Amino acid sequence: MSKIFVTTVCFFIMNAMNGQPYLDIASAGITSSPNVSVLKRNNTGNSFRYYNTGLNLPMFFGKDSSVIVLSPYAERWDIEIDNLNDLPSHLQSLALQASVIKSFSKKWNIALSVIPRWNGDNDAIFKNNFQLGGAILASYKKKQQFTWKLGLYYNRALSVDYFFPLVGTDWALNTINDLFW
Nearest-CA neighbor of 66 among 99, 97, 98, 101?
101
**Comparison of pLDDT for 121 and 146, the residue scoring more:** 146
**Does 4 score more than 80 pLDDT?**
no
User: Is the per-residue pLDDT at 12 higher than 70?
Assistant: no
- The separation between the first and the last C-alpha atoms of the chain, rounded to the nearest angstrom, is 37
Q: What is the pLDDT of residue 18?
A: 54
What's the pLDDT at 95?
93
| pLDDT, position 151 | 95
* Ramachandran bin of 45, using left for φ above 0, alpha for ψ from -120 to 50, beta for the remaining angles: left
User: What pTM, to 2 d.p., does this model score?
Assistant: 0.69
Select the more confidently predicted residue: 169 or 64.
Answer: 169
Q: Tell me the pLDDT band of 126, cut-offs 50, 70 and 90.
A: low
Q: Is the pLDDT of residue 172 over 90?
A: no
The pLDDT score that the predictor gives to residue 167 is 94
Query: Is the pLDDT reported for residue 34 higher than 70?
Result: no
User: Residue 160 — φ and ψ, nearest 5°?
Assistant: -125, 135
How confident is the model at residue 40, as a pLDDT? 55
Question: Cα–Cα distance between 81 and 35 in angstroms, integer?
Answer: 9
Q: How confident is the model at residue 87 (pLDDT cuts 50, 70, 90)?
A: confident
Query: Residue 176: what pLDDT?
Result: 80
Cα 126 to chain centroid, rounded: 22
Mean pLDDT of 75-88: 78
The predicted pLDDT at position 38 comes to 52
Model confidence pLDDT, tens digit, residues 128-148: 688 889 999 999 988 888 889
**pLDDT exceeds 70 at position 163:** yes
Q: What is the average per-residue pLDDT within 79-99?
A: 81
